[in-house]
C-alpha cells in the first residue's frame, strides 16, 4: 500500500458508500455513550459483588519472589495460492522477554521452527496447517529454558486445532501436510501434556488470549450477557488486583480425534489424548490488571499453578516486569513474537518469486509455462 493510500483510506470506495457510513457514526456514538454510562453507574455495585464473594485479590498480599526470566511464543501460517499448486508455510517464534537485572543468561536471537512446502489445491489445507502451527508453538514453549513462558491465545486452542486438523487428515490423506502432521502429532501431544500439567517447579506456562468472549465471572455474577469478562473487569479492577482462580467455562467434554494417526502409535496417542482432555478440564483462569494504563489481562494456566501462591506470584511478577510501557497492551515478548510471525505471510510472495526465478534458470522448456503455473490465481 502506498503512502498516499494510507493517508486517504476512502480513495477506492464509492462516495455514496462513504457518506452512508459517516451518517451512521452519530447514532453509533450515542449507543456507545449509553453503554459507557451504564457501566459507570454499575461499576461500584459490580465491584462490591466481587469483593463480597472474595473474587478480587491483591497481588501485594502474595509472597515476594525474584523477577523471573520469560519468553513469548506465537505461531503463524500462510498459503500462497498459485495457478498450479499452493505454496504453504507455517512457523512459530519464541522471543525472550526483558532480562531481569541480575540475569546473565540470554538468548542471542529469537528461536524458531518452520515448515515450508508446495501442496496441491485442497480446501482442507488451512485446517491441517493450523494443527501444525499449534504443535510447533507447543514444542517451542516446552523446550524454552525460561521460568515463565507466555503463549498467545487460549490453552484450549491446541485442542480445537488438533481435533479439526486430524479430522481433515482422514478426509485428505494424500496431502503432504496430512502426513507431516501425523508424523509429528505424538511429539506435539507430549508437549501439550507437559504444558497443561506444568508440574516443574521452575517452569510456568501461561496462555494470554488477547480477544476473548468468555464469561466465567459474568455468568456467576449474573452480569449483562452483552459484556464479556475482560471488558468489564478492565473497568472494575484496580491496578495490582486479580481475580481468584476459577475453572474454565466449558460447553461440553474436550476431545481430540485420533482416527487419522498411524496404527503403530494409536494406543499411545489415545492414552495421551485422554490425559490431555482431563487436564484441559482443570485449566484455571484469572484476570489481572498490573497497572492503571493497562486493561485486565486474561491469564490461563494449570491447576498446579493456581493452587500454589508462590508459583502464582512468580507468574504475576513476570507479567509486571514485561508490561512496563503503556504503548504495549500485552507482555513484551508476546508482542514481539506476534509482530514477527505476522510477517510470515508477507514474505511468501518473495519466496515464490525466488523459486520461480531459480526454476526458470534450470527449465529447458517454454519459460512462460513456469511463470504462468507459479503465478498467483488473482490479479497482482
Listed residue (103, 104, 107) closest to 73, CA to CA:
107
- The arithmetic mean of pLDDT across residues 1-12, rounded, is 61
- The arithmetic mean of pLDDT across residues 276-296, rounded, is 92
pLDDT of the residue at 371: 59
CA 106 to chain centre: 24
- The arithmetic mean of pLDDT across residues 142-170, rounded, is 92
Confidence band (pLDDT; 50, 70, 90) for 139?
Answer: very high
pLDDT of the residue at 303: 92
- The arithmetic mean of pLDDT across residues 26-43, rounded, is 79
The label of the residue with cell 504475576 reads 316
- The arithmetic mean of pLDDT across residues 51-78, rounded, is 90
pLDDT of the residue at 198: 86
pLDDT in tens, 159-177: 999 999 999 999 988 889 9
Give me 209's grid cell: 488470549
Dist CA 115 CA 62 (whole Å)? 43
Dist CA 259 CA 79 (whole Å)? 26
Are residues 214 and 228 in contact, defined by beta-carbon separation less than 8 angstroms? yes
What is the pairing mode between strands 148-152 and 70-81?
A: parallel
- The arithmetic mean of pLDDT across residues 173-184, rounded, is 91
pLDDT in tens, 85-118: 788 889 899 999 988 876 766 676 778 888 888 8
Dist CA 88 CA 178 (whole Å)? 13
Listed residue (77, 184, 159, 83) closest to 125, CA to CA:
77
Kindly state the percentage of the chain with pLDDT values over 90. 40
Least confident interval from 64-78, 239-253, 339-353: 339-353
Dist CA 100 CA 194 (whole Å)? 26
Residue 313: Cβ-neighbour burial (10 angstroms; 0-12, 13-18, 19+) = middle
Instruction: Indicate the average pLDDT of the chain.
Output: 84
Confidence band (pLDDT; 50, 70, 90) for 379?
Answer: low
Confidence band (pLDDT; 50, 70, 90) for 1?
Answer: very low
Listed residue (147, 161, 149) closest to 74, CA to CA:
149
Q: Which residues contact 288 (CB under 8 A, 6 or more apart)?
A: 59, 237, 241, 242, 243, 296, 297, 299, 316, 319
Q: Which residues contact 372 (CB under 8 A, 6 or more apart)?
A: 83
Kindly state the percentage of the chain with pLDDT values over 70. 88
Q: Which residues contact 191 (CB under 8 A, 6 or more apart)?
A: 135, 138, 139, 141, 142
Listed residue (145, 166, 367) closest to 260, CA to CA:
166
pLDDT of the residue at 372: 60
Beta bridge partners of 82: 376
Residue 249: Cβ-neighbour burial (10 angstroms; 0-12, 13-18, 19+) = middle
Does residue 369 register a pLDDT over 60? no
pLDDT in tens, 200-219: 878 899 999 988 878 888 88
Does residue 3 register a pLDDT over 50? no
Beta bridge partners of 72: 95, 150
The label of the residue with cell 518473495 reads 350
pLDDT of the residue at 106: 67
Side-chain half-sphere exposure of 95, counting CA atoms within 13 A = 19
Amino acid at each position: 500500500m502506498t503512502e498516499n493510500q494510507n493517508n486517504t483510506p476512502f480513495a477506492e470506495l464509492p462516495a455514496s458508500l462513504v457518506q452512508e457510513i459517516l451518517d451512521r457514526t452519530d447514532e453509533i456514538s450515542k449507543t456507545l455513550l449509553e453503554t459507557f454510562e451504564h457501566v459507570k453507574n454499575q461499576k461500584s455495585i459490580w465491584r462490591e459483588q466481587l469483593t463480597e464473594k472474595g473474587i478480587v485479590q491483591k497481588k501485594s498480599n502474595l509472597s515476594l519472589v525474584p523477577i523471573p526470566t520469560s519468553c513469548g511464543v506465537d505461531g503463524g501460517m500462510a498459503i500462497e495460492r498459485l495457478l498450479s499448486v499452493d505454496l504453504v508455510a507455517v512457523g512459530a517464534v519464541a522471543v525472550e522477554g526483558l532480562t531481569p537485572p541480575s540475569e546473565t543468561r540470554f538468548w542471542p536471537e529469537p528461536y524458531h521452527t518452520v515448515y515450508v512446502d508446495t501442496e496441491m489445491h485442497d480446501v482442507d489445507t488451512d485446517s491441517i496447517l493450523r494443527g501444525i502451527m499449534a504443535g510447533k508453538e507447543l514444542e517451542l514453549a516446552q523446550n524454552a529454558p525460561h521460568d515463565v513462558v507466555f503463549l498467545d491465545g487460549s490453552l484450549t486452542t491446541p485442542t480445537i486445532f488438533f481435533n479439526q486438523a486430524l479430522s481433515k487428515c482422514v478426509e485428505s490423506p494424500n496431502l503432504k501436510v496430512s502426513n507431516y502432521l501425523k508424523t509429528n502429532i505424538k511429539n506435539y501431544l507430549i508437549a501439550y501434556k507437559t504444558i497443561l500439567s506444568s508440574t516443574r517447579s521452575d517452569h510456568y506456562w501461561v496462555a494470554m488470549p488477547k480477544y476473548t468472549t468468555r464469561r466465567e465471572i459474568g455468568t456467576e455474577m449474573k452480569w449483562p450477557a452483552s459484556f464479556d469478562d475482560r471488558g468489564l473487569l478492565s473497568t472494575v479492577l484496580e491496578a495490582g488486583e486479580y481475580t481468584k482462580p476459577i475453572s474454565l467455562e466449558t460447553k461440553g467434554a474436550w476431545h481430540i480425534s485420533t482416527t487419522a494417526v498411524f496404527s503403530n502409535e494409536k494406543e499411545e496417542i489415545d492414552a495421551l489424548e485422554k490425559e490431555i482432555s482431563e487436564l484441559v478440564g482443570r485449566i484455571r483462569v484469572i484476570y489481572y490488571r498490573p497497572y492503571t494504563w493497562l486493561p485486565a489481562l486474561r491469564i490461563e494456566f494449570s491447576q498446579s499453578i493456581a493452587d500454589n501462591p508462590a508459583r502464582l506470584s512468580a507468574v504475576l511478577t513476570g507479567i509486571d516486569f514485561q508490561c512496563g510501557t503503556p504503548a504495549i497492551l500485552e507482555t513484551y515478548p508476546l508482542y514481539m513474537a506476534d509482530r514477527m510471525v505476522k510477517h510470515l505471510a508477507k514474505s511468501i510472495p518473495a519466496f515464490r518469486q525466488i523459486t520461480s526465478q531459480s526454476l526458470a534458470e534450470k527449465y529447458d522448456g517454454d519459460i512462460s509455462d513456469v511463470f504462468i503455473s507459479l503465478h498467483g490465481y488473482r490479479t497482482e
